[in-house]
Amino acid sequence: MSAHVPERVRREDEQLARERQKIARDGPKLKGAKLEARLERTWSRPRGIIGWLATVDHKEIGRRYIVTALLFLSLGGVLALAMRVQLAQPDNALISAQRYNELFTMHGSTMMFLFAVPVMEGVAVFIIPLMLGTRSTAFPRLNAFSYFMYLFGGLLLWGAFLLNIGPDIGWFAYTPLSGPQFSPGKRADIWAQMITFTEVSALAAAVVLVCTILKTRAPGMTLARMPLFAWAMLVVAVMIIFSMPAVALASSMLISDRLIGTNFYNAYEHGDALLWQHLFWFFGHPEVYIIFLPATGFVSVITETFCRRPVFAYPIVVLALISTGILAFGLWVHHMFATGLPRVGYSFYTSASMTVAIPTALQIFCWLATMWDGRPRFQVPMLYVVGFIVTFVIGGLSGVIIASVPLDLQLHDTYFIVAHFHYVLIGGAVFPLLGILTYWYPKITGRMMSDTLGKIGFWMILLGFQLTFFPMHFAGLLGMPRRVYTYPAGLGLELPNLLSSIGAFVVAAAVVLFVINGLFSLYRGAIAPSNPWGASTLEWAAASPPRPYNFAHIPVVESRTPLWDAEGELPVVTGLRVDEKEILLTTVVAATPDLREPVPAASLWPLIAAIAVGVLFVSSIFSPWAVVFGAIPSAIALTAWFWPKDLKRQPEPVIS
């Protein structure tokens, strides 16, 4: 081992080993206020605007993700209201057909790519390290980079929309409509490049989450003791890793068809427009579960806490998460039933689409059993769980119905489909999200949200939602196609559309109420104790809001519900250094202590790298040479990101 080490280096090694003994570490001799003051100093980011931009604290990045995603939710919601105003009465001429195309494209793209996926990642980035009992995510600079890429993608899409070059090709941008022949100009390129931004961001965040969940769990938190939300996010992150390359590849091929004349989707030169649909839905269907599975994690968290009982049949819930994740990759063709498929394809994808209902139903039965056996307290988060179950089951049932090919051929591209996916996406993901934001609000801000406003908001959104989307089933059955900017009078479509438009404003009012509640409680809410709901998981052992270092000592986990079994004391390990940022890595399955890992200092380079890559992406809309010339500043920024700022050897590694 040491045969190659020269004498000079060996002496240096010994010297560093001696210095290592002097490093201050937490333990019985360094605890309490004195320890916390030192950790505070070590883990705080630099002050001021530079520090704000350079932060790698997962809590700050997670908060930014959540706030940005909620802003995009509001923007997408405003577009939805505009569409509902247009459709409130027949033959309405308020919005032109072209503008309407832009509105539904922007609405769908914003909700799927700029709200639903990022908000789930944001919540996870904030809470997962706390839940796992650690002080940071893995690769915190990559985490910061991922946020900036997401932000720039959103700014690109909305900036273009405001400049009247927003995309108008639908959120799934089917070729040949989105190809060079039928979409001249840059609208389609804006859409495709927004995809590149958000996919880079989502993939980076997925790697961060997988590594965080596998390697940074508190000692003793074996895979079998991991909170169900962490399981859900692990499955989701792996799904992102396997599915998002499909849409990134497809949209890159689209851009190259449009920019440099390749022929992937060009039927005249033996390309195939259906290739787009296959690649897009190979991503697009898992995407639905990428949005839904985190929400099932939220539901498990809330159900457990508010029923005062561990979730019934933990292994079944975990297996259901994993099997949903796998089955999600076998369903994409059911979006393409109307394109003409081999008969065996129809049968296979119909049965696969029906099969995926089984693990989902198993989870729902497990939550019902938990409520049955526990003592549910119907506070706001739990109400959202109940609203979720009711709404999601309706959406799930209409989903099983349209998995049947003959019916799907009839209902394809009608408002029945619009009703179905809003039931599963809003009922299945947004309701649990509003519940979990209420639930984790005290952890994020240190204050409680108003219970009264929360309950009023819940009933408004639940009933407003049904009023908006239930009539759409009937509009669809009556034959109203989606994505039409108006409809003639006398077909029986007036009533369902008017009801939907009224309902949309009720939902919007409820969302506004939620935002008001959130902002008001930030200043006036009751001060939250560390564990206001009496929950069982580790994030509630940290202060509300958590200090920059999360935990003064790294907790040890001895059961699935550590705080319920704590009996006034939390077992901890000691020995992490306090003068530099350091976390503990554990083994993947058994979570036994494995390594000590330095945590990178705050840095501006992730932001600079994101700007450089962003310039590359945006200019490559206009010229292929941007890929070549844009690569140079990107490479410089990425190198500077990794290059140690101090080339002197330290007693223990630091990432400067």
Q: Which amino acid type is present at position 592?
A: T
State in angstroms the smallest separation of the CB of 9 from other proteins.
5
Rule CB under 8 A: say whether 94 interacts with other proteins.
no
Residues 268-287 that bind other proteins (CB under 8 A): 269-272, 275, 278-279, 282
Rule CB under 8 A: say whether 653 interacts with other proteins.
yes
Q: Is the dihedral of CA 302, 306, 309, 313 positive or negative?
A: negative
Assigned token pair, 306 = 């508010």
State in angstroms the smallest separation of the CB of 573 from other proteins.
5
State in angstroms the smallest separation of the CB of 308 from other proteins.
19
Which residue in 182, 372, 595, 623 binds other proteins (CB under 8 A)?
595
Q: Which listed range, 150-158, 179-187, 496-504, 591-599, lies at the site for other proteins (CB under 8 A)?
A: 591-599
Rule CB under 8 A: say whether 98 interacts with other proteins.
no
Q: DSSP of 244-307, one letter per residue? A: HHHHHHHHHHHHHHHHT---TT-GGGT--HHHHHHHHHHHHHHHHHHHHHHHHHHHHHHHHHHH
State in angstroms the smallest separation of the CB of 304 from other proteins.
19
CA angle 330, 336, 340 (to 5 degrees): 115
Residues 195-254 that bind other proteins (CB under 8 A): 203, 206-207, 210-211, 214-215, 219, 241-246, 248-249, 253
State in angstroms the smallest separation of the CB of 127 from other proteins.
17
Which neighbouring-strand residues pair with 554?
573
Q: 150-173 burial, b for 16+ CB within 10 Å, e for fewer?
A: bbbbbebbbebbeeeebbbbbbbb
Which neighbouring-strand residues pair with 582?
598
Residues 4-23 that bind other proteins (CB under 8 A): 4-5, 9, 12-13
Q: Is 558 in contact with 565 (CB distance < 8 Å)?
A: yes
Residues 115-144 that bind other proteins (CB under 8 A): 138-139, 142
State in angstroms the smallest separation of the CB of 256 from other proteins.
8
Which residue in 11, 41, 377, 649 binds other proteins (CB under 8 A)?
649
Which residue in 553, 557, 609, 617 binds other proteins (CB under 8 A)?
553
State in angstroms the smallest separation of the CB of 5 from other proteins.
6
Size of the site for other proteins (CB under 8 A): 88
Rule CB under 8 A: say whether 40 interacts with other proteins.
no
Q: What is the DSSP letter of 566?
A: -
Which residue in 110, 143, 178, 266 binds other proteins (CB under 8 A)?
266
Q: DSSP of 38-62, one letter per residue? A: HHHHHHPPPSHHHHHHH---HHHHH
Q: Is 387 in contact with 459 (CB distance < 8 Å)?
A: no
Q: What is the DSSP letter of 110?
A: I
Rule CB under 8 A: say whether 568 interacts with other proteins.
yes
C-alpha to C-alpha distance for 434 and 427, rounded to whole angstroms: 11
Return the number of the residue (177 or 275) whose C-beta is nearest other proteins: 275
Which residue in 146, 379, 531, 536 binds other proteins (CB under 8 A)?
531
C-alpha to C-alpha distance for 333 and 341, rounded to whole angstroms: 9
Measured over all CA atoms, what is the biggest interatomic distance in the chain, rounded to whole angstroms?
94
Q: Which listed range, 177-185, 261-269, 392-400, 432-440, lies at the site for other proteins (CB under 8 A)?
A: 261-269
Pairing verdict, β 582-586 and 593-598: antiparallel
Rule CB under 8 A: say whether 539 interacts with other proteins.
no
Which residue in 61, 542, 602, 616 binds other proteins (CB under 8 A)?
542
State in angstroms the smallest separation of the CB of 638 from other proteins.
9
Q: Is 219 in contact with 557 (CB distance < 8 Å)?
A: yes
Residues 389-418 that bind other proteins (CB under 8 A): none
**C-alpha distance from residue 441 to each of 66, 436, 444 (Å):** 11, 8, 5
Q: Which listed range, 155-163, 416-424, 480-488, 568-576, lies at the site for other proteins (CB under 8 A)?
A: 568-576
Pairing verdict, β 554-555 and 582-586: unpaired
Return the number of the residue (87 or 542) whose C-beta is nearest other proteins: 542
State in angstroms the smallest separation of the CB of 303 from other proteins.
24
Return the number of the residue (4 or 47) whose C-beta is nearest other proteins: 4
C-alpha to C-alpha distance for 236 and 189, rounded to whole angstroms: 28
Nearest of 459, 316, 327, 449 to residue 390 by alpha carbon: 459
